[in-house]
């Protein structure tokens, strides 16, 4: 099982190119099933989760070619209606094929996605949305079976215990794309990835409006444009991760292709900590060489501070003098990186959904175990700042969502290598 070997304490410098957004690419690949015409997607990140989604749509009948971050997908005919358990368990976002198959074939059978390290991850809002559109849902032997012969546009309420849902908003948009009539989704998630999926649907020919707000309107259609060629937005979480690399290693890094408008809450926090951040021609210049101070983080849905940046900031705040706090309001169990950081000498106490972090002078390198995608990037960041050698095991978690992570870090001057 591959692991990273990191020699910490180095100052970094130079430029890094941010890849396409994983959390846009996954639903957009599934959305390409809506049409029997060929679709070309640009700036698709070559990460494990994208490879899994390609395996899934191919299983359903799509012909896919994926080279140098360009993906072409053509599904003249859907050959199967079932997303098998062994694929769905590998990647929860497999459930996006449910919305696409309900739209195109009016029937689908998708294995229930399990929970994952960061929480139970229910899908009740997805099911509530499909049901509102007239889909009959039954759950047998761990599969969600959908009968959508009466699919029609409706008002869909996606209010859940933690607010609305990114995944459910996207899944309902997909199903509504071929429903007779108008669908109004509210409250809808406003994340940039939701906007990206909506813009792709519009490129296909779906009448859609309100994306980026908390109310999205979709008018279903049955014919789609041919020759659609769509470019995925840059990954704001990867961009935020590299900005945090600059902060934790006290370096000046140019994060190219970063879209600052997609990451205002992260950049505001980094500035509050003491970083100097400027717009560059194509991206941002992040300077972490000055004095830094503690801060408080309140995770919230977009445009609030993203939960996907919480672990990386926990690593950063562990190295900043003073007391910082992080309140995680989205997922129930997203502090798993804390125990690993404490093994490096970090001073963190967890009180329910809040982590209290007292910065220490220096973390010390040691053997670490990654637990989920963003926690693993946090452990790498801590290793870059720590004294001595850090070994991060189970980096398959990281390979799910970061393209060539160690290669990009080495280009910035980090001492990191992948080994057994």
Nearer to ligand EPZ, 189 or 336 (CB): 189
Of residues 126, 257, 262, 292, which one binds ligand EPZ by CB under 6 A?
126
Q: At what angle do helices 192-204 and 166-176 cross, to 10 degrees?
A: 10
Q: Which two tokens stand for residue 60?
A: 């359903």
Smallest distance, ligand EPZ to C-beta of residue 359, A: 25
Cα–Cα distance between 320 and 317 in angstroms, integer? 5
Q: Give the active site residue among 2, 87, 112, 116.
A: 116
Pick the piece of the chain touching ligand EPZ (CB under 6 A) from 122-130, 149-157, 208-216, 261-269: 122-130
Query: What x/- string results for residues 289 through 328 when contact with ligand EPZ is judged by CB under 6 A?
Result: ------------------xx--------------------
Query: What x/- string results for residues 146 through 165 when contact with ligand EPZ is judged by CB under 6 A?
Result: --------------xxx--x
Nearer to ligand EPZ, 53 or 62 (CB): 53
Sign for the CA dihedral angle at 174, 175, 180, 181 comes to: negative
Query: What x/- string results for residues 377 through 416 when contact with ligand EPZ is judged by CB under 6 A?
Result: ------------------------x---------------
- Terminus-to-terminus CA distance in the chain, angstroms? 6
User: Does residue 51 bind ligand EPZ (CB under 6 A)?
Assistant: no
Could you tell me if 12 and 413 are in contact, meaning their C-beta atoms sit under 8 angstroms apart? yes
- DSSP category for residue 385: H
Smallest distance, ligand EPZ to C-beta of residue 114, A: 12
Q: Which two tokens stand for residue 252?
A: 């000046």
Sheet with 182-186, side-by-side order of all strands? 155-157, 182-186, 214-219, 207-211
Query: What x/- string results for residues 181 through 200 when contact with ligand EPZ is judged by CB under 6 A?
Result: --------x-----------
User: Does residue 373 bind ligand EPZ (CB under 6 A)?
Assistant: yes
Sequence-distant (6+) residues with CB within 8 A of 251 are 11, 12, 13, 245, 288, 289, 412
Nearer to ligand EPZ, 313 or 331 (CB): 331
Of residues 26, 197, 299, 416, which one binds ligand EPZ by CB under 6 A?
26
Cα–Cα distance between 294 and 319 in angstroms, integer? 9
**Helix, strand, coil share (%) of the chain residues, nearest 5:** 35, 30, 35
User: Does residue 124 bind ligand EPZ (CB under 6 A)?
Assistant: yes
Cα–Cα distance between 263 and 181 in angstroms, integer? 35
Q: How many residues does the chain have?
A: 420
Smallest distance, ligand EPZ to C-beta of residue 226, A: 28
Catalytic site includes residue 221:
no
Of residues 262, 374, 397, 408, which one binds ligand EPZ by CB under 6 A?
374
Cα–Cα distance between 154 and 93 in angstroms, integer? 24
Binding site for ligand EPZ (CB under 6 A): 23, 26, 93, 119, 121-126, 160-162, 165-168, 189, 307-308, 330-331, 373-374, 401
């Amino acid at each position: 099982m591959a692991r990273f070997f990191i020699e910490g304490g180095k100052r970094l410098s130079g430029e890094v190119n941010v890849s396409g957004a994983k959390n846009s690419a996954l639903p957009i690949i599934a959305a390409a099933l809506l049409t029997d015409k060929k679709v070309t997607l640009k700036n698709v990140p070559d990460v494990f989760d994208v490879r899994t989604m390609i395996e899934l749509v191919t299983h359903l009948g799509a012909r896919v070619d994926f080279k140098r971050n360009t993906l072409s997908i053509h599904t003249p005919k859907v050959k199967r209606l079932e997303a098998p358990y062994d694929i769905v368990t590998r990647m929860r976002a497999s459930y996006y094929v449910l919305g696409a198959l309900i739209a195109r074939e009016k029937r689908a059978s998708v294995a229930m996605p399990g929970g994952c390290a960061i929480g139970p991850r229910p899908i009740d809002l997805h099911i509530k949305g499909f049901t509102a559109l007239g889909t009959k849902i039954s759950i047998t032997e761990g599969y969600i079976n959908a009968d959508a012969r009466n699919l029609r546009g409706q008002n869909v309420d996606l209010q859940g215990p933690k607010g609305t849902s990114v995944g459910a908003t996207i899944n309902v948009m997909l199903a509504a794309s071929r429903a007779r009539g108008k669908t109004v989704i509210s409250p809808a998630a406003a994340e940039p990835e939701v906007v990206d999926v909506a813009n792709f649907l519009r490129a296909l020919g779906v009448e859609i409006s309100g994306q980026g707000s908390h109310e999205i309107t979709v008018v279903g259609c049955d014919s789609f444009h041919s020759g659609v060629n769509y470019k995925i937005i840059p990954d704001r979480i990867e961009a935020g991760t590299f900005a945090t690399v600059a902060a934790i290693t006290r370096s000046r890094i140019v994060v190219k292709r970063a879209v600052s408008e997609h990451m205002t809450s992260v950049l505001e926090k980094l500035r509050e900590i003491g970083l100097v951040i400027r717009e560059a021609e194509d991206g941002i210049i992040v300077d972490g060489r000055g004095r830094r101070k503690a801060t408080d983080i309140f995770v919230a849905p977009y445009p609030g501070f993203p939960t996907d940046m919480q672990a990386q900031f926990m690593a950063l705040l562990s190295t900043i003098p003073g007391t910082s706090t992080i309140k995680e309001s989205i997922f129930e169990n997203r502090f798993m990186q804390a125990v690993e950081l404490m093994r490096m000498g970090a001073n963190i106490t967890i009180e329910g959904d809040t982590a209290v972090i007292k910065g220490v002078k220096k973390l010390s390198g040691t053997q670490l175990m990654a637990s989920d995608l963003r926690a693993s990037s946090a452990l790498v960041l801590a290793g870059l700042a720590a004294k001595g050698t850090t070994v991060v095991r189970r980096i398959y978690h990281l390979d799910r969502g970061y393209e060539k992570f160690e290669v990009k870090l080495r280009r910035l001057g980090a001492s990191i290598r992948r080994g057994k």
